[in-house]
C-alpha cells in the first residue's frame, strides 16, 4: 500500500523516483519486526540503491514528527527530495472477538505519501511545528507483548490472553486528545505568527470523529475549514493525515498559497502540530 501511494504522489508531484534522496516511513504495523519497512520497500519504490531509508515509530503522530525531521534535513542542505510515507494494515492484527471489539471497530487499512522539497516562494512551506510526549501514559494505548518481557517474547499463555493485540483506555485517550490537540496547535500558530481564523484548512488525525469535532469547536473553526474522512476509512494511524491531505489537494479543497494546519495525538502519548503555507 505504501509503495502504491508513493507512485501516486510522485506522479502528482512530477518527480521521478530516482530524484528522491531520502525515505522516511511510518507505521505501527510493519510487515516484519526488523528491518524497517523503508528498507524492505526501497527496491519497490524505485529510488536509487544507496538512498538512506528510515522508519519512525510514532503511530498517530507520525506525520507531524516525520514532517519536522524532513524539514530539518532539507533546510540543512543535506537532502533535497524526501519521501514521507505512512502505511498501515490493521486488519490482520486486531482482535475481532467480543474481547477486542471496542478497539477493532475503530481501525482501518490505508496508506498516504507526500513528496517534500525546498520551498519555491518566500513564506511558503512548513512555517512552524510543535511536538511532545508524555511516556507516563505509554501503557494506556499499546501492545504490551515485547522482547523485554520474560521468559520469552511469545508464549502460549500470552497468546491465550491476547497480549499480541492492542489495548486502549478509550476514555483517557479522548480526554487527553481533546485537551492536548488545541494546546499544541495553539503553540504552532503562535510560532508561525498567525491565528486560527487565518487558517484555510485544518486536518486533524482521524482517530475519532468526536475528538475532531471537539477540537474544531474549541478553535471556533467553521465546517468549511475542516476535513474529515474517518467515516470512510476508520483510524489509519500513520496514514491518516497524508490520506486526508491527498484527498484535499486532488479535490481542490486545498490550493497553492493557502494556510493549512495539521494536528495529531496518539499512543505514547505523543502529539504534534504543524502550520504549512501550501
CB 82 within 8 A of CB 21: yes
Tens digits of residue pLDDT in 7-37: 999 999 999 999 999 999 999 888 888 898 9
Q: Does residue 203 register a pLDDT over 80?
A: yes
Cell numbers for 209, please give them: 470523529
Catalytic (active site) residue 212: no
| Residue 115 grid cell | 513528496
Active site residue 169: no
Domain ranges of the chain: 2-116, 125-277
State the catalytic residue, choosing from 53, 205, 208, 248: 205
Digit-coded pLDDT (tens) for 234-249: 999 999 999 999 999 9
- Among 2.40.110.10, 3.40.640.10, 3.40.50.410, 3.40.47.10, name the CATH number for the domain at 2-116: 3.40.47.10
Determine contact, residues 265/240, Cβ cutoff 8 Å: no
Q: State yes or no: is 235 an active-site residue.
A: yes
User: pLDDT digits over 134-184, tens only?
Assistant: 999 998 888 877 776 666 677 888 888 888 888 889 899 989 999 999 999
Q: Do residues 143 and 164 lie in contact, with contact meaning Cβ atoms separated by under 8 Å?
A: yes
**Residue 183 pLDDT:** 95
**pTM for this model (two decimals):** 0.92
Catalytic residue among 37, 53, 235, 248: 235
Q: 240-251 vs 62-75: helix axis angle to the nearest 10?
A: 70
For cell 503511530, what's the residue? 59
Average model confidence (pLDDT) across the chain: 92
Catalytic residue among 60, 90, 208, 212: 60
Under CATH, which architecture does the 125-277 domain have? 3-Layer(aba) Sandwich (3.40)
Secondary-structure breakdown of the chain: helix, strand, coil percentages, each rounded to the nearest 5: 40, 20, 35
Question: What pLDDT shows up at residue 31?
Answer: 87
Same fold? 2-116, 125-277: yes
Amino acid at each position: 500500500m505504501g509503495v502504491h501511494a508513493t507512485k501516486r504522489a510522485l506522479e502528482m508531484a512530477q518527480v521521478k523516483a530516482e530524484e528522491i534522496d531520502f525515505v522516511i516511513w511510518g507505521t505501527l504495523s510493519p510487515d516484519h519486526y526488523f528491518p524497517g519497512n523503508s528498507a524492505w520497500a526501497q527496491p519497490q519504490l524505485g529510488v536509487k540503491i544507496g538512498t538512506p531509508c528510515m522508519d519512525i515509530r510514532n503511530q498517530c503522530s507520525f506525520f507531524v514528527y516525520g514532517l519536522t525531521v524532513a524539514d530539518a534535513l532539507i533546510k540543512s542542505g543535506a537532502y533535497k527530495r524526501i519521501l514521507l510515507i505512512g502505511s498501515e494494515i490493521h486488519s490482520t492484527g486486531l482482535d475481532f472477538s467480543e474481547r477486542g471489539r471496542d478497539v477493532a471497530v475503530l481501525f482501518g487499512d490505508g496508506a498516504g505519501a507526500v513528496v517534500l522539497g525546498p520551498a519555491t516562494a518566500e513564506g511558503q512551506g512548513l512555517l512552524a511545528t510543535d511536538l511532545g510526549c508524555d511516556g507516563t501514559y505509554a501503557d494506556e494505548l499499546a501492545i504490551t507483548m515485547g522482547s523485554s518481557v520474560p521468559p520469552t517474547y511469545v508464549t502460549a499463555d500470552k497468546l491465550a490472553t491476547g497480549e499480541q493485540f492492542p489495548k486502549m483506555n478509550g476514555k483517557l485517550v479522548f480526554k487527553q486528545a481533546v485537551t492536548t490537540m488545541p494546546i499544541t496547535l495553539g503553540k504552532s500558530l503562535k510560532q508561525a505568527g498567525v491565528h486560527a481564523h487565518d487558517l484555510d484548512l485544518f486536518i486533524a488525525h482521524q482517530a475519532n470523529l468526536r475528538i475532531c469535532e471537539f477540537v474544531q469547536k474549541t478553535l471556533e473553526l467553521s465546517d468549511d475549514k475542516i476535513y474529515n474522512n474517518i467515516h470512510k476509512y476508520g483510524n489509519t494511524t500513520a496514514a491518516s493525515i497524508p490520506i486526508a491531505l491527498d484527498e484535499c489537494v486532488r479535490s481542490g479543497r486545498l490550493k497553492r498559497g493557502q494556510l493549512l494546519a495539521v494536528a495529531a495525538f496518539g499512543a505514547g502519548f505523543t502529539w504534534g502540530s504543524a502550520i504549512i503555507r501550501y
